[in-house]
Chains A and B, each alone.
Chain A
Amino acid sequence: MRFFTSWMKWEEGRRETPIEYANFVIMLLIALGIGVLAVVVSAILGPKKASRTKLMAYESGNDPEHGGVGTGQRFPVHFYLVAMLFIIFDIETAFFFPLAVAYQKLVPFAFFEAVAFVGLLLVGYVYILKKGVLEWA
Chain B
Amino acid sequence: MPGWLVELLITLVKGLALAFALLTTFAYMTLVERRLLARMQIRLGPNRVGPGGLLQPLADAIKSIFKEDVNVTLADKLVYTLAPIVAIGMALTAFGGIPAGPPGSLFGADPWVYNLDAGILALLAITSMGVYGIFLGGWASGSKYPILGGLRSSAQMISYELGMGLSILGLLMLVGSTSFLGIVGWQAVNGWMILFQSLAFALFLISSFAETNRTPFDLPEAEQEIVAGYLTEYSAIKWALFQMAEYVNMITASAIMATLFFGGYRGPGFLNAIIPGIADWPIMWLVVKIAFFLFLFIWVRATLPRLRYDQLMRFGWKLLLPVALANTILTAAYLAFARGFGLWPLAVLSLAGLLLLLLLSDRVRVLWNTPTVRREDDSLPNTRPAGGD
User: Is the CB–CB distance between A135 and B371 below 8 Å?
Assistant: yes
**Shortest Cβ distance from B345 into chain A, in angstroms?**
13
User: Is the CB–CB distance between A27 and B113 below 8 Å?
Assistant: yes
**Contacts A1-B340, A24-B96, A58-B227: A73 and B182 contacting too (C-beta < 8 A)?**
no
**Contacts A17-B116, A46-B236, A79-B155: A69 and B371 contacting too (C-beta < 8 A)?**
no
Encode A1-40 as 1/0 by CB contact (under 8 A) with B.
Answer: 1011011011101100101111110111011101110110
Query: For B140, what are the chain A residues with a Cβ–Cβ distance below 8 Å?
Result: 69
* Contact of B284 with A by CB under 8 A: no
* Contact of B382 with A by CB under 8 A: no
Task: Pick the interface stretch among B30-38, B49-57, B271-279, B306-314.
Answer: B306-314
Contact among B174, B176, B314, B337 with A136 in the assembled complex (CB-CB below 8 Å): B314
* Contact of A67 with B by CB under 8 A: yes
Contact among B87, B178, B317 with A134 in the assembled complex (CB-CB below 8 Å): B317
Query: For A1, what are the chain B residues with a Cβ–Cβ distance below 8 Å?
Result: 339-340, 342
* Contact of B46 with A by CB under 8 A: no
Give the number of A-B contacts (CB < 8 Å).
278
Which residue of B is nearest A71, CB measured? B142
Contact among A13, A54, A64, A90 with B162 in the assembled complex (CB-CB below 8 Å): A90
**Shortest Cβ distance from A43 into chain B, in angstroms?**
6
Cα distance, A114 to B66, chains bound together (Å): 56
**Contacts A6-B189, A35-B89: A14 and B81 contacting too (C-beta < 8 A)?**
no
**Contacts A42-B69, A82-B159: A137 and B310 contacting too (C-beta < 8 A)?**
yes
Query: For B190, what are the chain A residues with a Cβ–Cβ distance below 8 Å?
Result: 3, 6
Contact among A32, A48, A101 with B176 in the assembled complex (CB-CB below 8 Å): A101
Contact among A7, A23, A46, A75 with B114 in the assembled complex (CB-CB below 8 Å): A23
* Contact of B202 with A by CB under 8 A: no
**Shortest Cβ distance from B59 into chain A, in angstroms?**
15
**Shortest Cβ distance from B112 into chain A, in angstroms?**
9
* Contact of B286 with A by CB under 8 A: no
**Shortest Cβ distance from B333 into chain A, in angstroms?**
6
Which residue of B is nearest A60, CB measured? B227
Cα distance, A79 to B113, chains bound together (Å): 37
User: Is the CB–CB distance between A56 and B69 below 8 Å?
Assistant: no
**Shortest Cβ distance from B178 into chain A, in angstroms?**
6
Those of B132-161 within 8 Å (CB) of chain A? 139-145, 147-148, 151, 155, 158-159, 161
User: Is the CB–CB distance between A57 and B176 below 8 Å?
Assistant: no
* Contact of B318 with A by CB under 8 A: yes
User: Is the CB–CB distance between B8 and A27 below 8 Å?
Assistant: no
Those of B54-73 within 8 Å (CB) of chain A? 64-73
Query: For B158, what are the chain A residues with a Cβ–Cβ distance below 8 Å?
Result: 82-83, 86, 90
Query: For B186, what are the chain A residues with a Cβ–Cβ distance below 8 Å?
Result: 3-4, 6-7
Those of B301-333 within 8 Å (CB) of chain A? 309-310, 313-314, 317-318, 321-322, 325, 328-329, 332-333
**Contacts A55-B72, A110-B336: A64 and B176 contacting too (C-beta < 8 A)?**
no
User: Is the CB–CB distance between A100 and B173 below 8 Å?
Assistant: yes
Contact among B65, B141, B148 with A75 in the assembled complex (CB-CB below 8 Å): B148
Cα distance, A89 to B166, chains bound together (Å): 9
User: Is the CB–CB distance between A42 and B65 below 8 Å?
Assistant: yes
Cα distance, A30 to B8, chains bound together (Å): 13
Query: For A61, what are the chain B residues with a Cβ–Cβ distance below 8 Å?
Result: none
* Contact of A123 with B by CB under 8 A: no
Which residue of A is nearest B339, CB measured? A1
User: Is the CB–CB distance between A28 and B93 below 8 Å?
Assistant: yes
**Shortest Cβ distance from A120 into chain B, in angstroms?**
12
* Contact of A66 with B by CB under 8 A: yes
Query: For B333, what are the chain A residues with a Cβ–Cβ distance below 8 Å?
Result: 111
Cα distance, A36 to B141, chains bound together (Å): 19
User: Is the CB–CB distance between A42 and B116 below 8 Å?
Assistant: no
Cα distance, A122 to B103, chains bound together (Å): 42
**Contacts A31-B92, A58-B143, A100-B169: A4 and B177 contacting too (C-beta < 8 A)?**
yes
User: Is the CB–CB distance between A30 and B115 below 8 Å?
Assistant: no
Query: For B75, what are the chain A residues with a Cβ–Cβ distance below 8 Å?
Result: 69
Sample of 6 further A-B pairs with CB below 8 A, known A27-B96, A58-B143, A100-B170: A20-B116, A43-B69, A68-B142, A110-B332, A125-B321, A136-B309
Q: List 8 A-B contacts (CB under 8 A).
A: A10-B188, A23-B113, A26-B11, A28-B89, A30-B16, A35-B89, A52-B73, A114-B329
> 5 smallest A-B Cβ distances: which pairs?
A10-B185, A136-B310, A57-B143, A35-B85, A31-B92
